[in-house]
Structure 1
Amino acid sequence: MSVDVLPAKVSQGHTGYPKYTQLPAMRESRPGPVGPVAPTKRRDAKGVNITNFDPNCIIYNSNTDTTYLRGKLLGKGGFARCYEMLDLNSNKIYAGKIIHKHRISKPHQRQKIMREVELQRYLSHKNVVAFHSFFEDDENVYIVLENCNRKSLVYMLKHRKTLTEPEVRYFMGQLVEGTQYIHNHNIIHRDLKLGNMLLNDDMNVKVADFGLATRVEFEGEKKMTVCGTPNYIAPEVLQKRGHSYEADIWALGCVMYALLVGHPPFETATLKETYIRITENRFSIPDWVSPTARNLITKCLTHEPELRPSLETILRDEFFTSGHHPNNLPPSCCTTAPRFQTSGHRYSRPKSYAGPDQQRLDPGVERITSPIRDLELNSRSERSSKGRHTPDFFIPVSRLSGRTSGSEATRSDRSDSPPMRESSPKPRSAANLLDVLTTCLEHMPKDVIKNPEPVADMTILWVSKWVDYSNKYGFGFQLSNDSMGVLFNDTSRIILSLDGKSVQYYDMTGRLNAFNADNPPDDLEKKTTLLMYFAKYMDEHLIQGGNLECSKDSDDISVGSLCLKKWFRTAKAIVLYLSDGTLQVNFFDDHTKIILSYMRNDYFVTYIDEERRATTYSMVHLIQDGCQRDILDRMTFSRSMLKNLVDIEGVDI
């Protein structure tokens, strides 16, 4: 459930974090004896796997004499937790928002819940989450809603990174129709975003969460409340100029952009910069987005609300009428792009676009595989480098690959070999990395660039998400293999396993304490709770800062001990130093990133550009061939940051 206080929801970290509070365990009050109804109904359930529901978690609605069994947790919000709820009278499964009454003890908090109920309870549309019932007991308030098994578009985008235009037509058409129905009932949703677009079993979109919705009482009324999600908030809302239905049109434009590009149009590393870009209407659409899609997005994101198109006009837009618009989508498209049989003109991404992996088949058939990596599309494997000329200065630079002789420094032993880390990777010191980077910058050609060969299928571990709350607790981070952790202000660090079940804690002396996430030691309970808060926030609200993928189940990934060791900010960038010797620099102004890493007995430079496309080069090749000016400038800046770590921070591993 959304809240009126605006949290920062950005892809590549943000400053500030919700205040720490200890959530009590959720308890359900038990009614009087329910007799033999529960066991009888459980035996008679048809098509329902009742083993997923806890018979001890009984919820009773005395108004309708209905008994529910509480099932798995579906999600958490500012006020509520959402669970599956099995109706023992009908054997139907619903989604139940459960709000503990201590969270709505103040009158305005309860009024907010009641407003949400009153706005949603009479809505009935195929693209709006259906309202079922509302009741309360001594401890909790319950809102029972339609259950959408396939989660939301934000989870779909997390797996897919971007969607194809036929899919976007399918989803956006349903979103517009659902929003049109809501507006016809004089309701402004005010929080349309990917996370509030749920999917049912038939892959139909359902608009959810009316926690920030409001009713327009008379024609021309303007609302003044500043609310919503920063990446989707309209400029008239932000500037308190008064807003109405047009704010939802703006949000739909942001949703469409995010589905096609992979992130919202005004997303930045800081909330302040995001708001500046919204008020200045400053965003860019990648060249590979089709002209019709580009045109519709631009119309919806018109700064003046009265100039935005109506929902009826949007449905008649050329984007919907000129391209393939599927009648349905398979559930498999939640994780893998579907194959469409179409005819006529299809706008395709240019070959130079290193975006979601594509292969063209017969005319009219397009196959798009999962975007596992964003490297060169025309090169499926790393080409052999045997026979490359080794320059005279290469021997003293043998430190680049950690070898002791010049003959061993050729790349012939790596050509056509799988991209694996060392079986027992040893972290490199910051001083050694500085020495290698300095040598590379001093010897690489500056004027003539031979287009160095990228390294394909490289597995790089890097910080894909971060949250800076160091003014109170510490710095939260998520690595590209989805492991999460917190570097606390006292220099201790805590890491959550990939399955979320175990925790590793390193105290200020580096001593390890491993324990189950559900049963932390008493002295680490608060830090474990903070870890879960950081992890939940990054998982639900932040998007990967680049399309450089990492295999989650590869044996060459060392998860347990790898974590953030040091970080600091400058006016230009944030610098992140991992415990395996990897240096990462995220630049604020254009959101590009440079990652310097050591693997397979070699040093590598990974560049993530403004469109979040990642390319990895061996430093050996950069010494021979040089690199683009934008990469060279960022490598030079990274050297000064690394020198700061070595000389001032005293990093040693």
Structure 2
Amino acid sequence: MPFTEPTNALYKRLKDEAFQERDAEDHDAVNAADEQSEIENSERHSICTPTKQPVMEQSGQSDQGIGPNDILLLKVIGRGTFAQQVALARHRHTQDIFVVKTLDKQHLVRRKQVRHTLTEKKVLQNLSGHPFIVKLYSAFQTECDVNFVLEYCQGGELFFHLQHHKAQKFEEATMAFYAAEVLSALKTLHEKGVVYRDLKPENVLLDAQGHIKLADFGFAKQEMMPKCKTFSFCGSPEYLSPEMVAKAGHGIETDMWSYGCFCYELLTGLPPFQDDNLSTLFQKITMGKVWYPPDLSEKASSLLRDLLCVDPSKRLTAADAMNHPFFSDLDWEKLQNRQVSPPIRPECHGCDCTRNFDDGFTTSPLKFIKPHPSSKSKTDITCGPDFGSCGSAEHPKKQKVDFHDAFAEF
């Protein structure tokens, strides 16, 4: 396909066309929305959905878990394209620490992300027991928002540690540890028929011990068995697979391309494909020409080449990658049981420490999550001096939208 359109226009056109071609499950979710379509994830932003110690073991019991009146918000630790606020919080009664990720309903409807939000909840409910996937403790909705209560990962984003590492890249042994734990999570996702579609260092979190937790499943797709394809266009531009860029339909193989980009960035400090112009970036991706630094070992280069294969049918699967010579010295059983020592132990001072998160987030004002009018309790979630709710000054000129049908399943 030609790559001659302006940067934003190309990405927007591909998004618009992808919306038109989505399968019935994705398309039904947007019936209540207007036809507005904006660029998703055009920048590499940080959405932090961190963790906490395993105290509340009702993972998956979201309908009977924590509600808005149980929560004391402490500090903002992230924001994102769809996350209005990601905040560190404390349980009012048990004093447990966790994270509340808040998404604006009207924004989700307008951006046609309702179905993806419902899928995120289902995926987390089904896979929260995995050692390398962030736990979901509860999920609830208010009149204006949907909220995920998640475990807090005190170590923050792997991207944060990559940027603060010497030369802003990892040694092969360090990269192998993180790549292996991520691969374990991907293998489980694919076996369950889930394609993740947003792998990047910003979405890989570290817990207090330094083990990874895969987070942010807003672009995940269920029921993707081998040979299945979907035509949604989503993710971070530098990590999109050739088949997604070409709109040829993609399956779980797209995750393995992103995994190759992820491994490459950990080893070199930069993604394998980059350009300020999306047209040029997408052309580079579809051509698949990668420069491999001469200081990479033969095993590392071989792994990357087998992952960054333009033809998805020739790309390594998660199981194939686990058997690659690059991981030959790794005991996968010990890794799965979290018995392999992490190469980086995050600095954490107390269970509510936020030193591994960007000051740009942690110093920003908190916003209320206003309980639904039907809530029996009259107590709002406490936060800072600024707050937002439907119809407040924080949301000027908002149109009234009936969310009842769109979020009935949440």
- TM (norm. structure 1) is 0.42
Aligned counterpart, 1:149: 154
The one of 71, 76, 79 equivalent to 1:73 is 76
Cα-to-partner distance string for 1:341-388 (whole Å, 9 max, x where unaligned): xxxxxxxxxxxxxxxxxxxxxxxxxxxxxxxxxxxxxxxxxxxxxxxx
Aligned counterpart, 1:289: 296
Is structure 2 residue 278 aligned with structure 1 residue 271?
A: yes
Is structure 2 residue 122 aligned with structure 1 residue 122?
A: no
SS in 1 for 2:114: helix
From the superposition, tell whether residues 219 and 264 of structure 1 become closer, same or farther in structure 2 (CA, over 3 Å).
Answer: closer
TM-superposed CA distance for 1:139, in Å, is: 3.4
Distance 1:332 1:219 in 2: 37
From the superposition, tell whether residues 144 and 304 of structure 1 become closer, same or farther in structure 2 (CA, over 3 Å).
Answer: same
Aligned counterpart, 2:139: 134
SS in 1 for 2:328: helix
Is structure 2 residue 215 aligned with structure 1 residue 244?
A: no
From the superposition, tell whether residues 256 and 334 of structure 1 become closer, same or farther in structure 2 (CA, over 3 Å).
Answer: farther
**1:187–1:216: 8 Å Cα contact kept in structure 2?**
yes
Instruction: Give the AA of the match of 1:269.
Output: D
Aligned counterpart, 2:352: none
TM-superposed CA distance for 1:310, in Å, is: 1.7
**1:192–1:252: 8 Å Cα contact kept in structure 2?**
yes
From the superposition, tell whether residues 294 and 323 of structure 1 become closer, same or farther in structure 2 (CA, over 3 Å).
Answer: farther
Is structure 2 residue 95 aligned with structure 1 residue 88?
A: no
Distance 1:64 1:200 in 2: 21
SS in 2 for 1:149: coil
Cα-to-partner distance string for 1:614-647 (whole Å, 9 max, x where unaligned): xxxxxxxxxxxxxxxxxxxxxxxxxxxxxxxxxx
**2:119–2:222: 8 Å Cα contact kept in structure 1?**
no
Instruction: Give the AA of the match of 1:69.
Output: L
Is structure 2 residue 206 aligned with structure 1 residue 199?
A: yes
**2:170–2:266: 8 Å Cα contact kept in structure 1?**
yes
Aligned counterpart, 1:488: none
SS in 1 for 2:267: helix
SS in 2 for 1:188: coil
Is structure 2 residue 308 aligned with structure 1 residue 301?
A: yes
The structure whose Rg is larger is: 1
TM-superposed CA distance for 1:164, in Å, is: 1.0
Instruction: Give the AA of the match of 2:108.
Output: I
TM-superposed CA distance for 1:110, in Å, is: 2.9
Q: What aligned pairs does 1:461-472 form with structure 2 within 5 A after superposition?
A: none
Aligned counterpart, 1:97: 101
From the superposition, tell whether residues 332 and 143 of structure 1 become closer, same or farther in structure 2 (CA, over 3 Å).
Answer: closer
From the superposition, tell whether residues 90 and 168 of structure 1 become closer, same or farther in structure 2 (CA, over 3 Å).
Answer: same
Is structure 2 residue 338 aligned with structure 1 residue 329?
A: no
Instruction: Give the AA of the match of 1:91.
Output: Q
Distance 1:98 1:202 in 2: 26
TM-superposed CA distance for 1:210, in Å, is: 0.7
Distance 2:87 2:305 in 1: 38
**2:155–2:346: 8 Å Cα contact kept in structure 1?**
no
Cα-to-partner distance string for 1:178-205 (whole Å, 9 max, x where unaligned): 1111111110001111111011011111
More helix by share: 2
**1:6–1:230: 8 Å Cα contact kept in structure 2?**
no
Q: What aligned pairs does 1:154-553 form with structure 2 within 5 A after superposition?
A: 154-160=159-165, 161-216=168-223, 219-322=226-329, 327-329=340-342, 331-332=344-345
TM-superposed CA distance for 1:268, in Å, is: 2.2
**1:164–1:260: 8 Å Cα contact kept in structure 2?**
yes
Please give the root-mean-square deviation of Cα atoms over the aligned residues, in Å. Answer: 3.3
Distance 2:94 2:283 in 1: 51
More strand by share: 1
TM-superposed CA distance for 1:226, in Å, is: 1.6
- TM (norm. structure 2) is 0.65
**2:100–2:147: 8 Å Cα contact kept in structure 1?**
yes
Farther off after superposition, 134-143 or 62-71: 62-71
TM-superposed CA distance for 1:334, in Å, is: 7.8
**1:148–1:200: 8 Å Cα contact kept in structure 2?**
yes
SS in 2 for 1:187: coil
Instruction: Give the AA of the match of 2:136.
Output: F
TM-superposed CA distance for 1:117, in Å, is: 1.1
Aligned counterpart, 1:535: none
Instruction: Give the AA of the match of 2:80.
Output: G
**Where does the alignment leave 5 or more consecutive residues of structure 2 unmatched?**
1-36, 46-52, 56-62, 349-357, 365-384, 387-410
From the superposition, tell whether residues 211 and 323 of structure 1 become closer, same or farther in structure 2 (CA, over 3 Å).
Answer: closer
Instruction: Give the AA of the match of 1:67.
Output: D
From the superposition, tell whether residues 290 and 323 of structure 1 become closer, same or farther in structure 2 (CA, over 3 Å).
Answer: farther
Which of the pair has the greater relative contact order for Cα pairs under 8 Å at 6+ separation?
2
SS in 1 for 2:70: strand
Aligned counterpart, 2:48: none
**1:189–1:213: 8 Å Cα contact kept in structure 2?**
yes
Distance 1:133 1:122 in 2: 13
TM-superposed CA distance for 1:120, in Å, is: 1.8
**1:86–1:93: 8 Å Cα contact kept in structure 2?**
yes
Farther off after superposition, 133-142 or 146-155: 133-142
TM-superposed CA distance for 1:143, in Å, is: 0.7
**Where does the alignment leave 5 or more consecutive residues of structure 1 unmatched?**
12-45, 49-60, 336-481, 483-495, 502-517, 520-653
Instruction: Give the AA of the match of 2:163.
Output: K
SS in 2 for 1:121: helix
**2:226–2:251: 8 Å Cα contact kept in structure 1?**
no
SS in 2 for 1:256: helix
**2:38–2:111: 8 Å Cα contact kept in structure 1?**
no
Instruction: Give the AA of the match of 2:135.
Output: A
**1:83–1:95: 8 Å Cα contact kept in structure 2?**
yes
From the superposition, tell whether residues 282 and 107 of structure 1 become closer, same or farther in structure 2 (CA, over 3 Å).
Answer: closer
Distance 1:137 1:9 in 2: 29
**1:76–1:82: 8 Å Cα contact kept in structure 2?**
yes
Distance 2:172 2:223 in 1: 34
SS in 2 for 1:267: coil
Distance 1:175 1:109 in 2: 25
SS in 2 for 1:252: helix
Distance 2:72 2:277 in 1: 43
Say how many residue pairs are matched: 294
TM-superposed CA distance for 1:273, in Å, is: 1.7
**2:210–2:345: 8 Å Cα contact kept in structure 1?**
no
The one of 111, 114, 119 equivalent to 1:110 is 114
From the superposition, tell whether residues 210 and 77 of structure 1 become closer, same or farther in structure 2 (CA, over 3 Å).
Answer: same
TM-superposed CA distance for 1:5, in Å, is: 3.4
**1:156–1:334: 8 Å Cα contact kept in structure 2?**
no
Aligned counterpart, 2:60: none
**1:10–1:271: 8 Å Cα contact kept in structure 2?**
no
